[in-house]
Amino acid sequence: MPTQIKPGGMGLPGGGGTPSAFADSMAAAIESELNLLLQAEGLPKLALDNSTETRDRRRLFVAIARGVVRHLNERREAIDVVDSDGVTSSPTFDILWS
Is residue 94 helix, strand or coil?
coil
Walking along the chain (98 residues) 10 residues at a time, the average pLDDT comes out as: 80 85 94 97 94 95 95 84 81 65
Q: What is the mean pLDDT of the chain?
A: 87
Compute φ and ψ for 5, nearest 5 degrees: -85, 125
Domain ranges of the chain: 1-98
Amino acid 98: pLDDT: 54
Please tell me the distance from the alpha carbon of residue 66 to that of residue 6, in angstroms, as a whole number.
Answer: 9
Amino acid 87: pLDDT: 83
Q: How far is CA 40 from CA 29, 36, 37, 49, in A?
A: 16, 6, 5, 21
